[in-house]
Amino acid sequence: MAYAWQGKLEKLDNFRWKIPQSHKPGMQVPGLIYANETLLPGILNDKALEQVANVACLPGILGCSLAMPDIHWGYGFCIGGVAATDPENNGVIAPGGIGYDINCGVRLVRSNLTLNELMPKLETLVNSLFNNIPSGVGSSGDIRAGAKDEEDIFLKGAGWAVKKGYGVKEDLEFTENRGSMQGADPSIVSKRAYERGKDQSGTLGSGNHFLEIQAIDEIYDEKKADMFGLFKGQVTMMIHSGSRGLGYQICDDYVKSMAGCLNRYNINVPDRQLACAPVNSPEGRAYLASMKCAANYAWTNRQCLMHLARNVFEKVFNKSWSSLGLRLVYDVAHNIAKMEKHKIDGKEKFLCVHRKGATRAFPPGHPDIPGAYKEAGQPVIIPGDMGTFSYVLAGAAGAMEETFGSTCHGAGRRLSRSNAIKFCAGRNIDKELFNKSGIIVRAKTRGTLAEEAPEAYKNVTEIVNVVHGANLSTKVCRMRPLGVIKG
């Protein structure tokens, strides 16, 4: 596929490139891409930049249509896109700017185990996690929720799980939004969405979702690592999952129903997948109230997954999870829209911030981060591919000034899924990972392994270096994978 970006792209400095507003008619603001010279050629060969320009056409968009360095071609919005709109100025909300997997996100759990203490039991642990955590396509779980429970989950999020005994109150303290957004309205969620969410709580799902056992192998900021309870040689666990079938259905419902809003509110967008409605319209409010149900469901899901994993650790190590120190470091959403206060020309305003494949990165002192992390900034958790590293960053001042408190979300794909499968034809990815790096991988299907092979992804270290260099979030530590379970 010999695509190459033909539009203008102005280099502003080593980390920032601008698509001028003159690139296409209808752009309300310029596009701003965070990248470096190494990542740029890959970005230019992808169709993502046109999507950045399309998003710049959304009514009420402020600042710039932003793209993080893990940008790649999506549908409607690019993956790695951030857009803030002003509800007081006809600003819109676009379900496509959040994505189908509403509140897909990651959580990081620390332990007081060291690498040396873990190694003799690693294989048993990974096998046991694989056997006890429902994963794979359409997987349904042991944590069953009845119809009444589902409503409660939509309203209370991770708090529902804690009340049921799947975790402790402290877990909520260390979850973005305390694991629950206010204003969810279960009464407007479609019957189909209810149906698809019914038995999927506490299931990992498939594709790029995973649970990974890791060890911290590099510390960049001792002070912040210490505040997050992290140290070199420490064993950690990362969980990546989202709102499963429920979120897909809610997004689908509204992308369809908002098609009519384009005429009704006289909105012109270059791509139907950018269907949207003013934040302050009945349709916009309904989407937001439904999206919150899915977001709360996703936080519940990751809380349940962590609970199941803690149980497995208890069995394997014959100790309680609390004595193993399995405490939540933080949980972040990376597909979500939030009403947030931001300063525009020195004035505080409530904006609708869309993050699609982007993570919130609030700086030190921000009121929405846990007390224990006030001085450090919000932990930002960046998963890499299954062969290389993952990172913990801390939100920095630059994010508040330039990106509406946002940063990157992961490695970002480099190869399409089918190219990845072609590229890996005849190879045994799990064996290779074990022989080369000692990483134990368990996956439900071989297809997933090839699709998710390390070569399919951009170099996460490059991505992290860009957001660090641009002061959107700064490096705290690096983890290397030991064992991975995938759907």
Which residues of this protein are in contact with another protein, per CB under 8 A? 1, 46-48, 72-76, 79, 96, 99-101, 136-139, 192, 195-196, 205-207, 245, 248, 251-252, 255-256, 259, 271-273, 275, 413-419, 445-447
Task: Give me the phi and psi of 194, to 5 degrees please.
Answer: -55, -50
Quick one: 257 or 437, whose CB is closer to another protein? 257
d(CA 10, CA 463): 20
Residues recorded for the chain: 487
Strands (E) located in 35-140: 61-75, 77-85, 92-93, 105-114
What six digits make up the tokens of 28? 């309300």
Quick one: 185 or 252, whose CB is closer to another protein? 252
Least distance (Å) between residue 180 CB and another protein: 24
3-state secondary structure 429-468: HHHHHHHHHCCEEEECCHHHHHHCCHHHECCHHHHHHHHH
Least distance (Å) between residue 423 CB and another protein: 12
Contact between 417 and 446 under an 8 Å Cβ cutoff? The reply is no
Least distance (Å) between residue 92 CB and another protein: 16
Least distance (Å) between residue 44 CB and another protein: 13
What six digits make up the tokens of 278? 């003013």
Give me the amino acid identity at 405: G
Quick one: 186 or 245, whose CB is closer to another protein? 245
Task: Give me the phi and psi of 276, to 5 degrees please.
Answer: -155, 170
Quick one: 46 or 212, whose CB is closer to another protein? 46
* Alpha-helix runs per DSSP H in 203-258: 222-227, 244-257
Catalytic residue among 23, 209, 240, 409: 409
334 labelled catalytic: no
Least distance (Å) between residue 159 CB and another protein: 27
d(CA 365, CA 405): 13
What residue has token string 């409530």?
Answer: 350
Q: Which residues participate in catalysis according to the annotation?
A: 409
